[in-house]
Structure 1
Amino acid sequence: MNNITRSFLSNPRALVGLAIVLFFMLIALCAPILSDHGPNDRVARPHQPPNTEQIMGSTRMGRDVFTQLVHGTQTSLLVGFLAGFIVTAVGTLVGITAGYFGGKVDEFLNFLTNIVLVIPNLPLLMVLAAFIGEASPMVIAFIIGITSWGWGARVTRAQTLSLRQRDYIQASELIGESSWRIILVELMPNLLSIIGFNFIGSVIYTVITEATLEFLGLGDPSAVSWGVMLYHAQTSSAISVGAWWEILAPCAALALFGAGLSQLNFAIDEIANPRLRTLGRLKRYQKRLAGDPEDKPPVNAAAMAAATRNDTVLQKEGSK
């Protein structure tokens, strides 16, 4: 575990992504402190451009865009992490159970997974949200959570099937350890990278999908989130009247938060895959070779091969 932590902290993508995500989490936690009035309070003239008092301008109803943005961060992040937890929990439970126990259990759970994967997700979400009528952000999170776990279950099942044949799993079964202890102690630590990848990807998908549904008018217009901000900007013809700040603020927040989570996703993939780490070292080594001819280090193929073997060993030690 120390090797994994050290690899994570030494990865530039991981540090950048973590800084962005923590920045938005800090905004969500400090939203009441960052603004001294409510997100639905009328504090300015309609469509007022950014100024010293309203640094991000105001909406058609005279509401402060900055206040709505920081309070909307609370809602959007809560929905994203809640739905991401549901997707990851269901997908991990289904995938591990199907891959480890096999037989009829695997056939039944694989059948359910195929059904979830075959049904188009976004049209299904739109139909459910329209049927419920002005779905609240928490309802949208729950709907996304119970309809989007198929991909994670399929990937987790495939990795579990591979780990199921390892010697240490079979040895644990021979000495009489219970199935659930083997799953929790032997399998789960080796699936952490896939679980983390699934969780971060689910959070990205949820935040964007929630904003899409609310932008289309399928959410609760009285709520405060990034998607509702876009919906109100659309209904008030913000672009037509030149109020670009109403669109820019939530769009920039969505793009920046998605970029931060994507960097974390890439970093987890690099840490979990020793070949990607070695590829990064080779690229840096080639850049040094392409630099100053007098500063070129000698090419040492044996050292590069040893580095590859060391990365593989560290990966195995960190996963156990």
Structure 2
Amino acid sequence: MRPNRFRLPRFLRNHKAAAGALILLFFLVFAVIGPWIAPYSPDQTGTAIVVGPSSAHWFGTDQLGRDIYSQLLVGTRGVVVVGFLAGAIATVLSMLIGIASGYLPGRGGESLSVLSNVFLVLPALPLLIIITSTQQSNGWVVILVIGLTSWAWNARLMRAQTLSLRRRDYIEAARATGESTSRIIVFEILPNLTALIASGFIGTVVFTVLTEITLAFVGISVSEWNWGTVLYWAQSQDALAQNAWWWFVPAGLAIALLGTGLALLNFGIDEFVNPRLRSSGPARIKTATGRRVRMRIGFTPVTGAPGELVPALAQDPEGETL
């Protein structure tokens, strides 16, 4: 009898999803423990002004002698908290309005669709700057404003998918047996939108993180410290002109790395739920002569033996030979 081996969940066996999950876990850990392990207070000034990386200051110091490494560690929590809370609010709104507008008939569904269209064309960033600049850096106001202005696109996607699902046979059967609208939406439609919801949530988190950092970069402090605040001080103090690369490069790399992790996780979700993307790589089929040749999915014929053509249409999207 073979011993039971630990196996990763099927989703994490995807290399992109696993890499994205590891990067995201890395930032989540530092969001929790960052303020505790920071060697200095991010506001603590010193005599070493605009000094490069050293054993005392790993990422150098700014114009007031503050430790940039500590600023990045403390700022990770603000980026992650605002990004995920605002993303959760936007995802919940997109689910409620998108699914309801796609399933409800008549004026109810059309009214919700019009509401989505109105929010879709709103200039979100200028509106955010106007509102947040009058709220004295209230973090919850920023979270609510970002969440309330970034749901419309995902709502449109969910509406389109719900319109496709509402006429399926199993939905008609549930309706014919007297199931309530709420039960049909929760138990019949919503499970089929799980991948779309997860992908939309990750995309919204990316948008909210970039929006938060943009607000901080233009001088609207979303939280006391985040990566955008570091970039704001670097830009306002002409760090590039002073060749103080350590002032802005680590923050920029952190933003890029977090965005890459979320993007990889999103790609992994797409490949996990889409058979065409999941069956990547060349496949082998058997020709009429019994010889196995390699081919790829597509419409271009692939040559097997000399003078022998193997049509690429002989393979279905799942990678099986027809």
Aligned residue in 2 for 1:317: none
- The structure where helix makes up a greater share of residues is 1
Check if 1:193 corresponds to 2:195.
yes
| Unmatched 5+ stretches in structure 2 | 1-7, 285-293, 297-303, 305-309
Quick one: distance in 1 between partners of 2:317 and 2:266? 27
Aligned residue in 1 for 2:142: 140
Per-residue deviation at 1:133?
5.0
Aligned residue in 1 for 2:266: 265
| Unmatched 5+ stretches in structure 1 | 288-292, 294-298, 311-320
The 3 A distance-change label for structure 1 pair 245 and 283 is farther
SS at match of 1:165: coil
TM-score by length of 1: 0.85
Aligned residue in 2 for 1:281: 281
Check if 1:94 corresponds to 2:102.
no
Per-residue deviation at 1:243?
1.5
Quick one: distance in 1 between partners of 2:131 and 2:278? 43
The 3 A distance-change label for structure 1 pair 101 and 308 is farther
Equivalent residue for 2:177, pick from 163, 168, 175: 175
Quick one: distance in 2 between partners of 1:169 and 1:153? 21
Per-residue deviation at 1:307?
3.8
Task: Name the stretch that deviates more: 266-275 or 246-255.
Answer: 266-275
Quick one: distance in 1 between partners of 2:270 and 2:317? 21
Contact 2:91 2:154 in 1 (8 A): yes
Quick one: distance in 2 between partners of 1:306 and 1:180? 34
Contact 2:234 2:247 in 1 (8 A): yes
The 3 A distance-change label for structure 1 pair 238 and 134 is farther
Quick one: distance in 2 between partners of 1:286 and 1:137? 54
- Pairing 1:238-257 to 2, within 5 Å after superposition: 238-257=239-258
**CA radius of gyration, larger in:** 2
Q: Residue type matched to 2:316 in 1?
A: A
The 3 A distance-change label for structure 1 pair 214 and 302 is closer
Task: Name the stretch that deviates more: 109-118 or 174-183.
Answer: 174-183
Quick one: distance in 1 between partners of 2:207 and 2:265? 14
Equivalent residue for 2:207, pick from 205, 208, 211: 205
Quick one: distance in 1 between partners of 2:138 and 2:278? 43
Per-residue deviation at 1:28?
0.9
- Pairing 1:287-298 to 2, within 5 Å after superposition: none
Quick one: distance in 2 between partners of 1:227 and 1:244? 16
Equivalent residue for 2:316, pick from 295, 305, 313: 305
Quick one: distance in 2 between partners of 1:182 and 1:70? 46
Per-residue deviation at 1:230?
0.9
Aligned residue in 1 for 2:13: 10
Equivalent residue for 1:24, pick from 7, 27, 42: 27
Q: Residue type matched to 2:240 in 1?
A: I
Quick one: distance in 2 between partners of 1:201 and 1:283? 32
Contact 1:44 1:64 in 2 (8 A): no
RMSD of aligned alpha carbons: 2.5
Query: Any idea what the Cα deviations from partners look like across 1:278-313, whole Å, max 9, x if unmatched?
Result: 3x23389659xxxxx9xxxxx897994384469xxx
Count residues in correspondence.
294
The 3 A distance-change label for structure 1 pair 309 and 7 is farther
Equivalent residue for 1:47, pick from 44, 50, 54: 50
Per-residue deviation at 1:183?
1.2
The 3 A distance-change label for structure 1 pair 167 and 71 is same
Contact 1:133 1:219 in 2 (8 A): no
The 3 A distance-change label for structure 1 pair 80 and 187 is same
Q: Residue type matched to 1:156 in 2?
A: M
Contact 2:38 2:74 in 1 (8 A): no
Contact 1:136 1:223 in 2 (8 A): no
Per-residue deviation at 1:269?
1.2
Contact 1:75 1:137 in 2 (8 A): no
